[in-house]
Structure 1
Amino acid sequence: MVDLIAAAAAVGQPLRVGVIGAGIMGADHANTLRRSVRGAEVTAVADVDLDRAKAAAAGATAYDDAFALIADPAVDAVLIASHDSVHAAQVVAAARAGKAVLCEKPLAPTLAEGRQVLRDIGATGEALLSLGFMRRFDPGYVQLQQAIDDGTVGAPVLVHNISRGVSGAPNATSEFSITGSAIHEFDVVPWLLRSPVVEVSWTAPRRSSQVHEGLQDPQVIHLRTADGVLSTCETFLNARYGYDIRCEVVGETGAISLTEPARVRMDAGQRHGIGYAADWRPRFADAYRIELQAWVDAVLAGAPTPLATGRDGVAASAVAEAVITSMHEGGRLTKVELP
């Protein structure tokens, strides 16, 4: 399949992408592919809700069966943005069909399932698989990594991460805060430092009065990478005031940090201020666009993609599992079972 795609690209034919999942993320990806990514064509969309699939397909083929989309000969590559619980089966099916696949995080709901996916698809399937950890393509994070590599602030000693949202899902659990939100830090910290996370611990302040009893929000997680750097990760799903992502790297001779992109400046009622994004889409719009372009370009060229790999996804899940263990065991320092 990859050779056929490269041959088609050589004569100017686009990469025909099928999108699985037509919720907020999948519909956004379909729109970005259509409007902002060169060399791509959305030829099919699948969702368990056929009407929602048709709306996101915008005239392309719509399915209510993800596996029918994967089998469609008019689909060269598959983008998976469905519910986390079905990622594993869909990744395996796409890889076995010989189709390049970009799967939104996580690769699977648990570490064991993620490892089983890699066993099921083998080395050939791994070469077709990319994971959607989009922060690796965010211009701010890219500049942070470059500054670290250049030694601009000396050797890193601390990394501080803050991830705050307006409101979490109504049924969010303490564990979901880790696997669905903090997992981005579990990927970006070792990516920034070029060193794997080897031990973790979990702690938390009093629970916010704005959330239900089944959710500890906020949470604070400590990560130690193999190079000895300590990272703090605050995750606060229900911070209410806006979507706010921060990262500061403290080195031996200085510090560097992300600044929140200004979307709207307001001057009214004798007040001056900057408006926050309501969710992740405006904040990471550039990252998603750049990531999708990099994926399409690599698949068309028959080259390895620069995106996170299946093994990166399993590594992040290993960190998440260790953090959940620490949470259930009173914050005990917990070793990460590296893949």
Structure 2
Amino acid sequence: MDELRIGLIGTGAIGRTHIERINGRLRGGRVVACSDVNTAFGREVAGRYGCEFFEDGEALAASDGVDAVIVTTVDEYHEKYVLAAIHAGKYVFCEKPLAPKPEACRRIMEAEMAGGRKLLQVGFMRRYDAAYNQLKKAVHSGKYGLPLMVHCAHRVPSVPDYYDTPMAVENSLIHEIDILRWLLGEDYAEVQVVFAKKTRYSNEHLHSPQIMRLKTESGIQIDVEAFICCRYAYDIKCEVCCEDGIVSLPDPSLVVERHAASCAHPLYEDWTDRFEEAYNVEIQAWLDASREGRVDGPTAWDGYLGQVTAQAASQSRDTQTTVTIPRQEKPAFYL
């Protein structure tokens, strides 16, 4: 297939940027249709990008004019539209999280397994980031010995008023939950979430900062600082402490500014700048794999394990206890 005809469900900010990157910068695909529950806005987006508009996302997924589907709706609708694409036998890319609850993720896995072939990729874009790939290569080189501890930070300058305490784990730290499992090649055994002193920039529904502590099955200890409303920048940190050395993510490769009697190393202001190239690489890889009839990226199993861990982390946060994460047996379908 020379060019995938793609239908996109959910025309919010991330959906529109995917349309722009696919139709304007990447190869092998074109967004030809879109859908949104806000029909007036969805029609406006469709007109802007020259797409056919569907009032019903499930009808879009079933359409003969669509070869593959991208789901970028709010989290609660992911299951509905991913299942529609799977039932239509079409490759589907779903932004993280796969679904808000592990039970919904399991239903997606069961539908995919019943169909007999992998169709789904979950949008954990950090796996495609050059810096994280350099870090993983270093950790697994053997040069530094075995990993013992990992220190991470997920710092966000500001968030909308609706952002609340649970979202720090379920919408932000879900990235660390996935990327650290991928980086270390291990599943988690237990998790704890504790509160730091609350910043005055938190809204009435948000307690920030929070600290998530994870222990892998081999005993690697991980701490992840979720500092929402940190004010100063969008700043992602990851330091892996090994037996014979320490390796960490590099700082952003931005121009050093000398101005007004100062020397500054700029940082990113938001996630769209920090991970723009990772998104490009991720979506291009999905387009290439879908055209060739395979799934290369994070699977429904990865999405399910992420939500099992996030659910345990949320339980820990709400009870202020350490929670054991149930060991999961990976289905042969996902080996």
TM-score after normalising by structure 2: 0.93
Q: Which residue of the other structure, out of 36, 40, 45, is the alignment partner of 2:25? A: 36
User: How far apart, in 2, do the equivalents of 1:48 and 1:152 lie?
Assistant: 52
Q: Which residue of the other structure, out of 175, 188, 195, is the alignment partner of 2:179? A: 188
User: How far apart, in 2, do the equivalents of 1:283 and 1:292 lie?
Assistant: 16
User: How far apart, in 2, do the equivalents of 1:97 and 1:282 lie?
Assistant: 35
Say if 1:118 and 1:126, in contact at 8 Å, map to a contact too: no
What letter corresponds to residue 288 of structure 1 in structure 2?
Answer: Y
Note closer, same or farther for the CA distance 1:56–1:321 as it changes in structure 2 (3 Å cut).
same
| Residue in structure 2 matched with residue 4 of structure 1 by the alignment | none
Where has structure 1 moved over 4 Å in runs of 4 or more?
none
| Residue in structure 2 matched with residue 271 of structure 1 by the alignment | 262
Say if 1:222 and 1:233, in contact at 8 Å, map to a contact too: yes
Provide the aligned C-alpha RMSD in A.
Answer: 1.6
Note closer, same or farther for the CA distance 1:67–1:135 as it changes in structure 2 (3 Å cut).
same
SS of equivalent residue, structure 2 residue 148: strand
Say if 2:213 and 2:223, in contact at 8 Å, map to a contact too: yes
SS of equivalent residue, structure 1 residue 316: helix
The size of the alignment, in residue pairs, is 326
User: How far apart, in 1, do the equivalents of 2:73 and 2:196 lie?
Assistant: 33
Shift of 1:127: 0.5
| Residue in structure 1 matched with residue 75 of structure 2 by the alignment | 84
Q: Which residue of the other structure, out of 302, 314, 334, is the alignment partner of 1:324? A: 314
Shift of 1:240: 1.1
Say if 1:172 and 1:215, in contact at 8 Å, map to a contact too: yes
Note closer, same or farther for the CA distance 1:310–1:267 as it changes in structure 2 (3 Å cut).
same
Q: Which residue of the other structure, out of 296, 300, 315, is the alignment partner of 1:306? A: 296
Say if 2:76 and 2:100, in contact at 8 Å, map to a contact too: yes
User: How far apart, in 2, do the equivalents of 1:87 and 1:125 lie?
Assistant: 21
Say if 1:244 and 1:260, in contact at 8 Å, map to a contact too: no
User: How far apart, in 1, do the equivalents of 2:238 and 2:267 lie?
Assistant: 16
What letter corresponds to residue 89 of structure 1 in structure 2?
Answer: K
User: How far apart, in 2, do the equivalents of 1:194 and 1:203 lie?
Assistant: 25
Between 1:235-244 and 1:60-69, the stretch displaced more is 60-69
User: How far apart, in 1, do the equivalents of 2:111 and 2:28 lie?
Assistant: 30
Say if 2:5 and 2:66, in contact at 8 Å, map to a contact too: yes
Q: How does 1:132-281 map to 2 (within 5 A)?
A: 132-281=123-272
Note closer, same or farther for the CA distance 1:44–1:338 as it changes in structure 2 (3 Å cut).
farther
Q: Specify every segment of 5 or more residues in structure 1 that has no aligned partner in the other structure, as ranges.
A: 1-8
Structure 1 position 49 matched with structure 2 position 38: yes
Say if 1:315 and 1:338, in contact at 8 Å, map to a contact too: no
SS of equivalent residue, structure 1 residue 87: helix
Shift of 1:250: 0.9
User: How far apart, in 1, do the equivalents of 2:264 and 2:324 lie?
Assistant: 43
